[in-house]
Chain A
Amino acid sequence: MKKFNKNIIVFISIYIFILTGIFGSSDFISKFIKETKHYIKTIPSFNISSFDNFKNSLETMSSEKIGYHDDMVNLHSVYQNLLGTRIEDKEETVVVKSNSGGLVGDLQEKKFDLYVNDKVEQIKEYKKLADDYNSEFLFCKVPSKAIYEELPENVTDYSKENYSAIIEELLRENIPTINCVEELRKNNISYNEMFFNTDHHWTPYAGFTATRIICEELNHRYGFNYKNDYLSINNYDVKEYSDCFLGSYGKKVGLWFSWKGADDFELYTPKFHTNLSEWHNGSSVEKKGEFVDTCLDMNKLVMDYYHSNLYHTYSGGTYRLQIVKNKSNHNNDKILVIRNSFACVITPFLSLQAKELHIIDDREGDYPEGERVNVEKYIEKIKPNYIIVIK
């Protein structure tokens, strides 16, 4: 009797696996049919670019639309972890697993004076605008994870050196500056409390602490009147969501590239009454109400590792322009914040300390969406009391 060929089982199993990927997806087939129909219509025009578009669509679709895409990313991360891989280069970002298992990216090239000078010149330009329009100025230099982490021997990074060099130069130029690395150290905030494991951002707790540091510095330099109670953690409800946040690095390399897995996420909401309004570019509606209804976007608090960003629960994310008005504020101060994404977990708490908080993201590129705001014209228009650059 002929021996049963076990490779039949291999074929059948694998094809069940493939068909599960195709039919287990909500839109693989429909997208394939749609793209193919669209391409067939363009064939008579012999247009190469329509073939290229068709090709790119199918290639993206066949990878990203298979039903178990996220599970495959997780499996890949397990495989890489078991092999001992510490460095993954994905989508032009190098993600490194530190000695403590934290995920680190945004590694910095060797320190060059040109890089330092370039950064300092940018800050000086903002300071000059503040001086020209009689606003008080403060620069808050946020830290990067790489400063704190111990990286493998085959990774070189100059984040620490570059950070120190920039601070040194800013102080030499008499630019009012907060050295967050130093200030957070003074506040006894540990590294684990400071940064997410799987994301490049700092935690809401670090942002909250940074808000207090900013207020204290503004008070020390310019007599800024702030409400200390609003900067005490005891006056906030803290809700912890365990193992629910997979940050930017984690999304690239997978859930289990580090055995630490996903991060916990904390949501701070004031115990006290608040009355705010919030508007941002691209929105047709001004939100009004309590802190949770205006400064937070609870729609972003979705427990989906790869398709949500819990960090954007704070502030709703990054917008080219966002305005928060505090109806029950104790002073008449107008603050302009020029920011990067680290300010997401600062501006909600800072908005409680001013009558108006205007937030501009003037970074180059397509992110965030929308037209870049002309910072000088905006300062001229709103005449803020304080300009804080958080970068």
Chain B
Amino acid sequence: MLFSSTTFLYLFLPIVLFFNFIIFKKSRLLQNIFLLFASLFFYAWGEPKFVLVMMASIVVNWFFGLIISKKRDNKTISKLIIALDVAFNLSLLFVFKYLTFAGNVFNDITGMGLHIPSIALPIGISFFTFQAMSYVIDVYRQKGEVQTNILYVGLYISFFPQLIAGPIVRYETIADEIKNRKETVDDFFNGFARFVVGLSKKVLLANSFAILADQAFDSAKNGDSISVMFSWLGAIAYTLQIFFDFSGYSDMAIGLGRMFGFHFLENFDYPYISTSITEFWRRWHMSLGTWFRDYLYIPLGGSHCSKARNIFNLFVVWALTGIWHGANFTFLAWGLMYFVLLVIEKLTGIHKKNGKVINVFKWFYTILFVVLGWVLFRASSISDAIVYLKSMFGLNGNVFSDGMFTGWFTQNLILLIIGFVLCTPIFRVLSEKTKSSHVVGCVKVVALIGLFVLSIASLVGSTYNPFIYFNF
């Protein structure tokens, strides 16, 4: 089930709110049990049989959490438990996400022609396995109380707001809130407003940019010669699509969490204003970046080691960051591209330099590589990515501009302008400056209601509502 669907908005959410806040309001235990089953139902809506995979993950990680809380003082056993837990979760991820890919690569290299089963990918498996590992590790690190009640572990891992598209919620973030959260009126209504903002970003912006991006990428993939300008337009459209889609989903998740009294950390902070790749990864998908930093990079030694070791650590993290996004060489290449850029920044120190002119240059090279990186990310193969990238630089013998570019550009000009503006924190700045203004407050209310109604109109009026996280 998607948040941006009438089923969720007209059926699931009203029913869940009713039961959680009215029927079960006097019992936290019943609320948590209800939310767990609602979350499992939410997940089963996509593919019922994969609920069993999630339930297996819940049971095993709960069990490991219990063991490690009892054996915490024994370093050897603790490390063994952590290793087993990580192995279990990564095995789950490997079997469902990477086995087919790995098998095909093996066959290509060896020519053995082994039969590789085609295994369907449970939606959100990358998110919930990382959350599950976070539970056991945070219990070990004593950053959160162990949950003896398996239902509470289940609720943490499967809670529907962040289940299928993140953010990756660390156990330590909400450990206390599972039993002791306080739902406040402000949190509820502000959370709902945040949800509406996220819904609008996804439905009104991301879905529209998706149409444009798909046109360009599909044309290139089908062997049509696309002009330089049209290929850039498609790449920029995808850059905007993925930001508004992903950050929109995060807004909805954070907003919904808040309504139920959970406070998830922010996941995006206007990443496209970054003036370095280092800064970009502190603003983009922050929950993933910090997860890899705290659970992999720092345990490997981080930057507190020799330069060579530091570069190795970065290589491991960025290779895995890339491959986490999907079982394809394109994702690996995308991750390694960032590894190379980050190492260059680290060695040259350019990301720390400041000045008006140099910041413009830094922003430009950052956004350039981000856009080019999204081409790699979007393409279905390395060869498709190369063809597309060559189109962007006129290396396919393609024309500079054509009717496809002028047509699609003029039809999307207003949306592009809105998209560019919303990539900047201009509304946040204006909001801060006018927060005491009653008139501005009223305008915001009307705007949010209007955006919601327009989002419903788009969901009903258009059949195009892509879900781009099927790789995750």
From 40 to 80 in chain A, residues with beta carbon under 8 angstroms from any chain B beta carbon are: 48, 51, 55, 58-59, 62-63, 66, 69, 72-73, 75-77, 79-80
Cβ contact of A75, chosen from B193, B406, B412, B454, cutoff 8 A: B454
One of A11-19, A265-273, A293-301, A343-351 contacting the partner: A11-19
Q: How far is the CA of A89 from the CA of B214 in the complex (A)?
A: 12
Q: How far is the CB of B244 from chain A (nearest CB, A)?
A: 15
B10-A17 in contact (CB<8A): no
Residues on A close to B: CB < 8 A?
5-11, 13-15, 17-18, 21-22, 32, 48, 51, 55, 58-59, 62-63, 66, 69, 72-73, 75-77, 79-80, 82-91, 152-155, 253-254
Q: How far is the CA of A42 from the CA of B262 in the complex (A)?
A: 36
B428-472: CB near A (< 8 Å → 1, else 0) gives 000000000000011011001100111011111111100000000
B386-412: CB near A (< 8 Å → 1, else 0) gives 000000000000000011111110111
What are 7 A-B residue pairs whose CB atoms fall within 8 Å in the complex? A6-B442, A7-B190, A17-B452, A21-B10, A66-B460, A79-B457, A154-B215
B73 near A: Cβ within 8 Å? no
A11-B189, A22-B10, A48-B48 known; A83 and B414 CB under 8 Å?
Answer: yes
Q: How far is the CB of A288 from chain B (nearest CB, A)?
A: 44
Q: How far is the CA of A260 from the CA of B406 in the complex (A)?
A: 24
Q: How far is the CA of A63 from the CA of B461 in the complex (A)?
A: 9
B7 near A: Cβ within 8 Å? yes
Q: How far is the CA of A143 from the CA of B458 in the complex (A)?
A: 33
B211 near A: Cβ within 8 Å? yes
B177-197: CB near A (< 8 Å → 1, else 0) gives 000000001101110110010
Q: How far is the CA of A13 from the CA of B196 in the complex (A)?
A: 12
Cβ contact of A154, chosen from B408, B448, B460, cutoff 8 A: B408
Which chain A positions have C-beta within 8 A of B215? 154
B6 near A: Cβ within 8 Å? yes
Which chain B positions have C-beta within 8 A of A66? 6, 10, 460
Cβ contact of B412, chosen from A5, A10, A21, A84, cutoff 8 A: A84
Chain B minimum-CB-distance residue to A75: B457
A63-B6 in contact (CB<8A): yes
Cβ contact of A76, chosen from B405, B413, B449, B458, cutoff 8 A: B458
Q: How far is the CA of A17 from the CA of B455 in the complex (A)?
A: 13
Q: How far is the CA of A5 from the CA of B448 in the complex (A)?
A: 14
From 411 to 425 in chain B, residues with beta carbon under 8 angstroms from any chain A beta carbon are: 411-415
A73-B10 in contact (CB<8A): no
A5-B185, A154-B407 known; A72 and B449 CB under 8 Å?
Answer: no
B444-A84 in contact (CB<8A): no
Q: How far is the CA of A55 from the CA of B47 in the complex (A)?
A: 11
Q: How far is the CA of A11 from the CA of B196 in the complex (A)?
A: 10
B360 near A: Cβ within 8 Å? no
Interface centre among A58, A82, A90, A91 (most CB of B within 10 A): A58
A59-B7 in contact (CB<8A): yes
Interface of B is mostly: helix
Q: How far is the CA of A90 from the CA of B6 in the complex (A)?
A: 17
A8-B10 in contact (CB<8A): no
A88-B462, A89-B211 known; A18 and B48 CB under 8 Å?
Answer: no
Q: How far is the CA of A384 from the CA of B6 in the complex (A)?
A: 54
Q: How far is the CA of A372 from the CA of B335 in the complex (A)?
A: 57
Q: How far is the CB of A34 from chain B (nearest CB, A)?
A: 14
B6-A87 in contact (CB<8A): no
B11 near A: Cβ within 8 Å? yes
Cβ contact of B10, chosen from A7, A18, A152, cutoff 8 A: A18
Interface of A is mostly: helix
B442-A84 in contact (CB<8A): no
Closest A-B pairs by Cβ, 9 of them:
A154-B407, A76-B461, A153-B403, A7-B189, A153-B407, A75-B457, A76-B457, A72-B460, A62-B6
A72-B461 in contact (CB<8A): yes
Q: How far is the CA of A21 from the CA of B6 in the complex (A)?
A: 11
Q: How far is the CA of A21 from the CA of B14 in the complex (A)?
A: 13
B49 near A: Cβ within 8 Å? yes
Q: How far is the CA of A155 from the CA of B186 in the complex (A)?
A: 49
Given contacts A15-B14, A18-B9, A66-B460, 16 further A-B contacts (CB under 8 A): A7-B189, A7-B445, A10-B193, A11-B192, A14-B452, A63-B7, A72-B456, A75-B454, A80-B461, A83-B208, A85-B411, A86-B411, A152-B411, A154-B215, A154-B405, A154-B407
Q: How far is the CA of A80 from the CA of B445 in the complex (A)?
A: 23
B11-A10 in contact (CB<8A): no
Which chain B positions have C-beta within 8 A of A72? 456-457, 460-461
B278 near A: Cβ within 8 Å? no
B359 near A: Cβ within 8 Å? no
Q: How far is the CA of A11 from the CA of B193 in the complex (A)?
A: 7
Which chain B positions have C-beta within 8 A of A76? 454, 457-458, 460-462
B45 near A: Cβ within 8 Å? yes
A21-B10, A153-B403 known; A5 and B186 CB under 8 Å?
Answer: yes
A84-B411 in contact (CB<8A): yes
Q: How far is the CB of B46 from chain A (nearest CB, A)?
A: 9
A79-B193 in contact (CB<8A): no
Q: How far is the CA of A335 from the CA of B156 in the complex (A)?
A: 73
Q: How far is the CB of B377 from chain A (nearest CB, A)?
A: 24
Q: How far is the CA of A65 from the CA of B218 in the complex (A)?
A: 34
B464-A89 in contact (CB<8A): yes
Cβ contact of A10, chosen from B49, B405, B448, cutoff 8 A: B448
Chain B minimum-CB-distance residue to A2: B186
B407-A155 in contact (CB<8A): yes
B454-A7 in contact (CB<8A): no
B463-A75 in contact (CB<8A): no
A51-B48 in contact (CB<8A): yes
Which chain A positions have C-beta within 8 A of B185? 5, 8
